[in-house]
Amino acid sequence: MLAKILSGAVIGIDAYRVDVEVDISQGLPSFSTVGLPEGAVRESKERVKAAVKNSGYHFPADRITVNLAPADIRKEGSAFDLPMALGILAATGLINRESCSDHMFLGELALDGLIRPVRGVLPMAIAARDQGLKGIFLPVENAPEAAVVEGIDIFPAHDLSQVIGALRGISRIEPFTVDIERLFQAQTLEVDFVDVRGQENAKRAVEIAAAGGHNLIMIGPPGSGKTMLAKRLPTVLPVLSFEESLETSKVYSVMGLMPKGHGLITVRPFRSPHHTISDAGLIGGGQNPKPGEVSLAHNGVLFLDELPEFRRNVLEVLRQPMEEGVVTISRAATTVAYPAQFMLVAAMNPCPCGFLGDPKRECTCSTLQIQRYRAKISGPLLDRIDLHLEVPAVPYRDLAGISEGAGSAEILKRVMAARRIQKERLSRTKIFINARMTSRHIKQFCAVDSESSALMERAMERFGLSARAHARILKIARTIADLEASPEIRPPHLAEAIQYRTLDRKITR
């Protein structure tokens, strides 16, 4: 007999429907799976056989053929265990095939019949809704992330017997629901800018970066607070919208990194990979492509500490996603695209020993050593980083003082005010922040008067700035003007923006 059970699989961060077709015919006992199954799918036959038997059901001693359609796309993962087991039982007549026709089934089976969580449930729930299905049967652990998709019922199950009982009408599984508004209200932040003593200039630069969505690199000696500032940047970024949260959560769902019990990523991600990471780990890839750190930082912050210690080929792959906000990975079998709209925040020492420019410690590096150290970061990559910020060592009086600077809540208010101005100005475009402006937008929204133009010309000649650096300065100046609610870019705004191109200047001892 023939039975068909609906399931799903993922390509990139999007899912598609998979029909699990099971045929049982007379012949020598066998179990074959076709439809381009990967290793975990091919091994599922042993798990399915043991789970069915240990759940108290008869496993047919006949010729079993399982086809995963469409058969021209490779299938991976263990989510097909549950639909395979149900297909076999439906083909033997234990389950009414009509009861399975309008639901999707996902889950890995343990040998005793328990249903274990799987990856990619969120995009598969979206695909099931778009296919017009009524509901999804899935593992209990995956229910919170699937339940954020409206318009489809989510049925969490502990084991195979519970699903079979529900399909036969013997028992009932209550649909799982989640309060999305409460998810966003429940977020808590453990860090705050009020913890940062001194470094008011650095705080100002971080505020500008947050207001315009600009990339930022911090240069300073060890212990000056670069990492501390970077970790607090997400606290002054606007709260994720539902659409942003859903897109970011899809990446985490595909990677199996969704926090336990959470249906959505409601706090902007902060990713800080080690400098030994490979280019595939950073950008994504592999034989079966997976998202990298740039995609896990989507709609959040990617922090690269000790930037010159990263391998050059690893850093160079950042250039394309920084410009386009998406990573496209091509393989012989498929091409996938992952979102990668992130704020890059990097930190580095000013020289190999770390004390160049420190008034209290002498730098032991030669000019040639400093040049080689900074040359590890290519010019094209630096041009794509808007703000170059010097972070000096913190004086003792600032560390010991009792006065506190602005906290994250106060800074966030100013950032939100600037973002509202940008959103209104860019309302007729497809972008919402100054950092995403193209040359056409810069020409339209970043006009300067004759005095500012003369100032820019002198800076270009003195520092040898590139055309891309010129565009970055205008973007930063536009953001500074927005923070002051100024409709025009004035010379003070431009002067402050120019000083944030530290690495474009010549090395001085």
pLDDT above 90: percentage of residues in the chain: 70
- Residue 402: pLDDT band by 50, 70, 90 thresholds? low
- Residue 287: pLDDT band by 50, 70, 90 thresholds? confident
- Residue 195: pLDDT band by 50, 70, 90 thresholds? confident
Tokens of 54: 């240990």
Partners of 47 in beta bridges: none
pLDDT at residue 336 greater than cutoff 80: yes
pLDDT above 70: percentage of residues in the chain: 97
Give the integer Cα–Cα distance in Å for 146 and 155: 10
Give the integer Cα–Cα distance in Å for 478 and 496: 11
Helix (H) or strand (E) holding 7: strand 2-11
Give the integer Cα–Cα distance in Å for 151 and 56: 35
Half-sphere exposure (CA, 13 Å, Cβ side) for 499?
13
Query: Among the listed ranges 134-138, 187-191, 292-296, 467-471, which one has the minimum average pLDDT value?
Result: 187-191
CATH number belonging to domain 2-178: 3.30.230.10
pLDDT in tens, 439-466: 899 999 999 999 999 999 998 888 877 7
For residue 508, the model assigns a pLDDT of 46
The predicted model gives 191-218 an average pLDDT of 91
For residue 509, the model assigns a pLDDT of 47
The predicted model gives 191-196 an average pLDDT of 87
The answer to whether the beta carbons of residues 15 and 8 sit under 8 Å apart is yes
Nearest to 110 by CA among 161, 176, 156: 161
Could you tell me which residue, 402 or 436, shows the higher pLDDT? 436
For residue 188, the model assigns a pLDDT of 66
Give the integer Cα–Cα distance in Å for 394 and 222: 11
Give the integer Cα–Cα distance in Å for 207 and 191: 16
The answer to whether the beta carbons of residues 62 and 88 sit under 8 Å apart is no
Phi and psi torsions of 72, nearest 5°: -100, 5
Q: Where in the chain is the domain with CATH 3.30.230.10?
A: 2-178
The answer to whether the beta carbons of residues 106 and 137 sit under 8 Å apart is yes
pLDDT in tens, 348-364: 999 999 888 787 888 88
- Residue 403: pLDDT band by 50, 70, 90 thresholds? low
CATH superfamily of 193-504: P-loop containing nucleotide triphosphate hydrolases (3.40.50.300)
Query: Among the listed ranges 109-118, 186-195, 384-393, which one has the minimum average pLDDT value?
Result: 186-195
Query: Position 308: which residue type?
Result: P
Q: Where in the chain is the domain with CATH 3.40.50.300?
A: 193-504
- Residue 404: pLDDT band by 50, 70, 90 thresholds? low
Phi and psi torsions of 265, nearest 5°: -85, 110
Nearest to 135 by CA among 144, 147, 117, 123: 147
